[in-house]
Amino acid sequence: MNIAKAAVLGAGTMGAGIAAHLANAGIPTLLLDIAPQDESITDKNQIVNSLFDAAKKLKPAPFMLADNAKLITTGNFTDDLHKIKDCDFVIEAVVENLEIKHKLYAEVDKHRKPGAVIASNTSGIPIDSIAEPFSDDFKAHFVGIHFFNPPRYMKLVEVIPGSKTSGEIACKISGFLDQRLGKGVVPAKDRPNFIANRIGVFGMMATIHEMIAGGWTPTEVDQMTGKAIGHASSATFRTSDLVGLDVTAHVTNNLYPAVPDDEDRDVFVLPELIQTLLDKKLLGDKTKGGFFKKSKDAEGKRVILELDLNTFEYKPQVKTKFPSLDAAKGIEDKAKRVKALVWGDDRVGEFLWKTTSRVSRYAANRIPEIADTIVEIDNAIKWGFGWEIGVFEAWDAIGVTESVERMRKEGQAIPANVEKMLASGATSFYKNEGGNHSFYDLVSGEYKPMPARPGVLIFKDIKERTGVIKSNPGASLIDIGDGVACLEFHSKMNSIGGDTVPMMNFAIEEVEKNFTGLVVGNQGGNFSAGANIMMLLLAAQEEEWDDINMMVRALQNAVMRLRYSAKPVVTAPYGLTLGGGCEIAMHGDKVRAAGETYIGLVEVGVGVIPAGCGTKEMTMRAMDAAAKAPDADPLAFPKRHLKRSAWARSQLRHRKAARSDSFATATRSR
Ligand code: NAI
């Protein structure tokens, strides 16, 4: 769908963030908000401009480049709403109040462009009730689009068609959100709080009830419910502190009356303990104290205090030693780790079994109420709550047959669709047969191929299906079809080491002989953390200067072969792309960089000069720029580039802080 111009109505937390992300995708965007009520204020854009200015200063930054902000034009609902007549996409993000939204949509309806998509970012108001007063044509073009906060960094966007939304509109806008904005789109039904928050908040409340019943401390619960089981590192209560207990309570209180038929609805009854915390305004970071509180000790060192749930006083945080959690740290495979912990015959196992099995049963019972398949629930929870392993993936890991047996023994009601699945002989929710993935469709009662994602290749699956052309511990060459080969790094942090360079040379030779082109790309956390400096360090300590010379030359030659290969080379950096990784990325014929790429020559920070052609490349680029400005001092150009390399390490630190911040904020979603 071609969206040449967009409008965002409401410039608060979500509106400003969505507008920034539209601008990140290069889309000119109109950002409107209310004019000040106070008539003595003559500037009608005062509210929108102050919200927009605040957004520009936010950390982590909503804009990928500060200049993207120039694509945004601000205005107010009183004077400028008619300007939406030029917009192909209008998304509303004003306060969560049906009456206010209705009033605004009545104006939108007067000015909207024929065919334009009109969307609401509501987190809880039914889409049908927002569209209810309007024409069928309005309804056909109206859809719920639920971004998570912060919109640039959170992958999940739920698309919620109302009962009269045109299928074509929902489909086209989903394509736009996926391909143009880079989001993970999950189709959701128009049911209370959609998918991620319905399941995520259920999980949070189930955990809180279990903590109270078992007399656990918030720290102990976080030790069990974070990274250990493949959930976000902020686990349960650090997440609650980031989000704000009032927000969680608000969603919970909304859900209880909205889901009268839920078999496990009582989980949404706020325990007395939570009510006390709300009354005492112990909401989390926003009130400078929730389940945890940041403080300083007598020596001024930063310490974390935790709330004593009996006295409501803060005390030093105490991490309990759990042998099972320590042992699990050694289990690299997430699925195996979850299985070991949940089946553990200690208190940790008991806690995790109770919470995990309760969430699993609840999620299965929500199909097809909130989503058609398990895939949507797993994607929503992974992309919206930062879980590395979805509800049904975890259930597979634990073992469906064995866990259902245990539930039965304990007198738990088994979801009818899961009973049926087991009765049919199917024993897992997902299957992987030689790189061909399928999922069990709980509605039709059969396995179906995982939904295809056009344009997406999963290297792991390709390798399972077709094998590799050549591989060593650091890199592989894969045939990805259409006459194209891919050079994939897969060392730790995808660093460039002794294995990478020979594979680069082999890749060029093979592609020049047998392929049309080469892609240098990989799939993991980061494109490459750079050359393995350890090897250089050891050689320097041994004063093996000839060896160092050889290593550097080998990398330079391989990098230059990418540049001068007889066949086209496309590099595809993303995430950290540092040092040698940056040098490789710069030497393709074309670079297809992901939006979230943190790229640079950072070697100076560890005491070495970028020597894999990065310094040469930056100088050449600087001189190209100098040639275009004949009146300027030519030396100023390389100077600027060299300075950038010299400072890159400190900028990286800043970036890293932004990334971890972004993760923290990422969990601040409703
Ligand atoms: P916010 O409070 O930051 O912004 C609300 C905006 O509404 C402000 O710009 C305000 O000026 C405007 N507004 C206030 N009164 C108005 C009126 N009478 N008429 C028109 N506009 C008015 O709220 P936030 O958090 O950005 O939420 C906006 C929408 O996004 C809500 O529907 C919310 O449920 C939803 N949402 C919020 C998320 C979050 O994490 N904050 C996540 C996903 C959805």
Q: What is the CATH number of the domain that holds 99?
A: 3.40.50.720
Burial (CB count within 10 angstroms: exposed 0-12, middle 13-18, buried 19+), residue 26:
exposed
Both 102 and 235 in one domain: the answer is: no
Nearest CA to ligand 1 atom 31: 96
Tokens of 563: 């540049």
Which CATH number belongs to the domain containing residue 653 in this structure?
A: 3.90.226.10
Q: Are 170 and 220 found together in one domain?
A: no
The tally of CA atoms less than 13 A away on the side-chain side of residue 659 is: 13
Taking CA atoms, 521 is separated from 284, 488, 491, 514, 526, in Å, by 41, 5, 13, 19, 10
pLDDT of residue 649: 60
Residues of the chain with pLDDT under 50: 656-670
- For a mutational test of ligand 1's pocket, the pick from 8, 9, 13, 670, i.e. the residue with the most ligand atoms closer than 8 A to its C-beta, is 13
Are 180 and 201 in the same domain?
A: no
Domain match, 183 and 231 both? no
- Please report the atom of ligand 1 found closest to the CA of residue 47: 11
Pair 253, 368 in one domain = yes
Kindly give the number of the ligand 1 atom that is closest to the alpha carbon of 120.
32
pLDDT tens by residue, 458-505? 999 999 999 999 999 999 999 999 999 999 999 999 999 889 999 999
In Å, how far are 121, 131, 193 from 159, measured between CA atoms? 10, 15, 12
Q: Is residue 433 part of a domain?
A: yes
Same domain, 124 and 205: no
Q: Is residue 653 part of a domain?
A: yes
Together in a domain, 95 and 118: yes
> Residue 28 Cα, ligand 1 centroid: separation in angstroms?
21
Q: Clarify whether residues 214 and 145 are in a common domain.
A: no
Same-domain pairing of 316 and 428: yes
Which among 383, 418, 449 is the end of a domain? 449
Do the domain assignments include residue 668? no
Structural domain for 90, as ranges:
6-187
Please give the pLDDT value at position 607: 82
| Residue 456 forms part of a structural domain | no
Q: Is residue 1 part of a domain?
A: no
Among 161, 187, 213, the domain boundary falls at: 187
pLDDT score recorded for residue 669: 29
**Ligand 1 binding pocket, CB closer than 6 Å:** 10-15, 33-34, 47, 51, 93-96, 100, 104, 121-123, 146-149, 669-670
Distance 136 CA to ligand 1 centre (A): 26
The protein residue whose alpha carbon is closest to atom 38 in ligand 1 is 670
> What pLDDT is attached to residue 652?
58
Q: Do residues 251 and 124 both lie within one domain?
A: no
For position 537, what pLDDT does the model report? 87
Query: What CATH number is given to the structural domain containing 285?
Result: 1.10.1040.50
Domains identified in the chain, total number: 3
pLDDT score of 506: 98
**Atom 44 (ligand 1) nearest CA:** 123
> Can you tell me whether residue 384 is helix, strand or coil?
helix
- Are 233 and 226 contacting, i.e. CB atoms less than 8 angstroms apart? yes
What residues contact residue 514 under an 8 Å CB cut-off, 6+ apart? none
664 C-alpha to center of ligand 1: Å? 21
By most ligand atoms within 8 Å of CB, the mutation choice from 8, 9, 14 for ligand 1 is 14
Integer-rounded Cα radius of gyration of the chain: 27
Q: How far is the CA of 92 from the centre of ligand 1 (A)?
A: 9
H or E element in which residue 315 lies: strand 314-316
Q: What is the pLDDT of residue 297?
A: 87
Of 187, 213, 246, the domain-final residue? 187
